Amino acid sequence: MSSLTEKDRPIVQLLLNSGTCPRCILRFCCVGSQALYRHPYKDLMKDLKEFLKNNQEKEDTVCSDVVDPPCKRIRLEPTEEGPDDLNHNGALQQIPSVNDENTATENSAVKVCNVCLGILQEFCEVDFVKKVCQKVNSSDYQFTSFVFSVSLPPQLSVRERAAWLLVKQEMGNLGLSLAKDDIVQLKEAYKWIIHPQLSEELGVPADGKSLFEVSVVFAHPETDEECHFLATACPDCFKPAKNKQSVFTRMAVIKALEKIKEEDFLKHFPCPPSSPQNLCVALEIQCNNGAVFVAGRYNKYSRNLPQTPWIIDGERKLESSVEELISEHLMAEFKADSFNFSSSGREDVDVRTLGNGRPFAIELVNPRRIHFTAEEMKGLQQTINNSSDKIQVRDLQLVTREAIGRMKEGEEEKTKTYSALIWTDKAIQKEDIAFLDDIKELKLDQKTPLRVLHRRPLAVRCRIIHTMKSEYIDEHHFRLHLKTQAGTYIKEFVHGDFGRTKPNIGSLLNRTTDILELDVESVDIDWPPTLDN
């Protein structure tokens, strides 16, 4: 085993006899060769024993030429008790020395590793790899690469600390040192072993930036309580959280291990850690695809359709919504778990959206299907349009998460045009409203409307009416075309909202006015890109 040197021999001997698996031994010997970890488990065990045997023979040759020489072997029996040798019983547990090949073979017949609890043993074998891949394939995802993530039991960090303290002391006896950061991390070693196997079985490469994640959650019920002493030693590290079932999270345990003194740790936890009876269990094998984003523009032709589901006190007021009419088809085609709908502003339930429509985007969460051609997106758009006469969509396309930001950025600086049908209590003539056409850049002070006060904070917002054009209908009705700053409350500008919007059409005409119909004629945002529909 060329990656190991003479200085590693006492560490190999020590860990092998304490019940540590070959791959964890390589980690504590700071071996960085990924290929070595992938060797079959039995071969690694055989190589370690051969490594110890060869070094034993060399030593015996040297010793035979010297009368009563000082033994080069690391003496594991403590000569005297001191602070550095303490564990929960007041002394480091005695580890038998490997005196000959037979002893090494006998003592190293480990069933479950006392450090990784079997992660680098059974869970690196082909049977487990196939089990993971069966889960992936049965989940019916589209993917061209994958990223593999692992959730380990928090007590592994405690056991790793105990093993490190053991090795650190022996290195000190040699006049050497071993920093925690020099040890190859368990997750890293596991991925070195598992990535090539998964990649070969799934037929796609492992990629840290992939949006398709395969995750495994491990647990080890037998040793679950091994972290509990840390809560007494470092109570500040373990705070209850609403979304956590246990305070003993991996991060909380690591934080506590960083705070606790070595002598306090050794008083509460055996060093080396004891050998468990059972392997870890794989609680969950999960797949998850990164979100896909679809954007477009929608027209709303109904005056009885909300943009999003209208539910008050748990009771649904209307049977559908713009959001649902669009998303139900996207959800079915992308085979997503859920969705999030957003748009450039919103219209009231009784307001139509005409012209080129309102920009919208839908985040499809954990989609099984992610690849669509332009023609397929065009067909999906047609399916949506054929399903209802209340809405139509255009420019339906796949976009990136970053691109959606363009829909929101500078939203209030954008302009929107409206058409409002207005009623007046007093009779009007065409010349009575003509002056409205000459008003430019009219500044409004709009206090939060009464109708939205339950969901918007009370504030006075300054908004601008850029232009107006009146269209006389009869003595009590006229249509007003407005170009306004986005975010302007048009209904309140017409009727005044009991004086909460100033000025308003009523105050400008010196009569009572109300709005009968309102249409959004354009939302002036150049996004998403126009397609050849």
Tell me how far apart the alpha carbons of residues 141 and 367 are, in angstroms, rounded to a whole number.
Answer: 8
Structure tokens at 189: 């070693």
CB–CB of 142/369 below 8 Å? yes
> Mind spelling out the 3-state secondary structure of 352-367?
EEEEEEEEEEEEEECC
Q: Give backbone dihedrals phi and psi of 291, rounded to 5 degrees, phi first.
A: -60, 145
Q: What is the DSSP string of 77-121?
A: S-SS--GGG--TTSSPPPPPP--SHHHHHHHT--SS-TTTTTTTT
Q: Residue 368 has which token pair?
A: 């099984």
Q: Is 348 marked active-site?
A: yes
| Catalytic member of 47, 84, 224, 348 | 348
443 SS3 class:
strand
Give the distance, in angstroms, between the CA of residue 114 and the centroid of all CA atoms in the same chain: 31
Number of Cβ atoms within 10 Å of the Cβ of 440: 11
- Rounded to whole angstroms, how far apart are CA atoms 407 and 233? 51
Dihedral class, residue 498 (left if φ above 0, else alpha if ψ from -120 to 50, else beta): left
- Token reading at 380: 């999906």
Residues marked as catalytic:
348
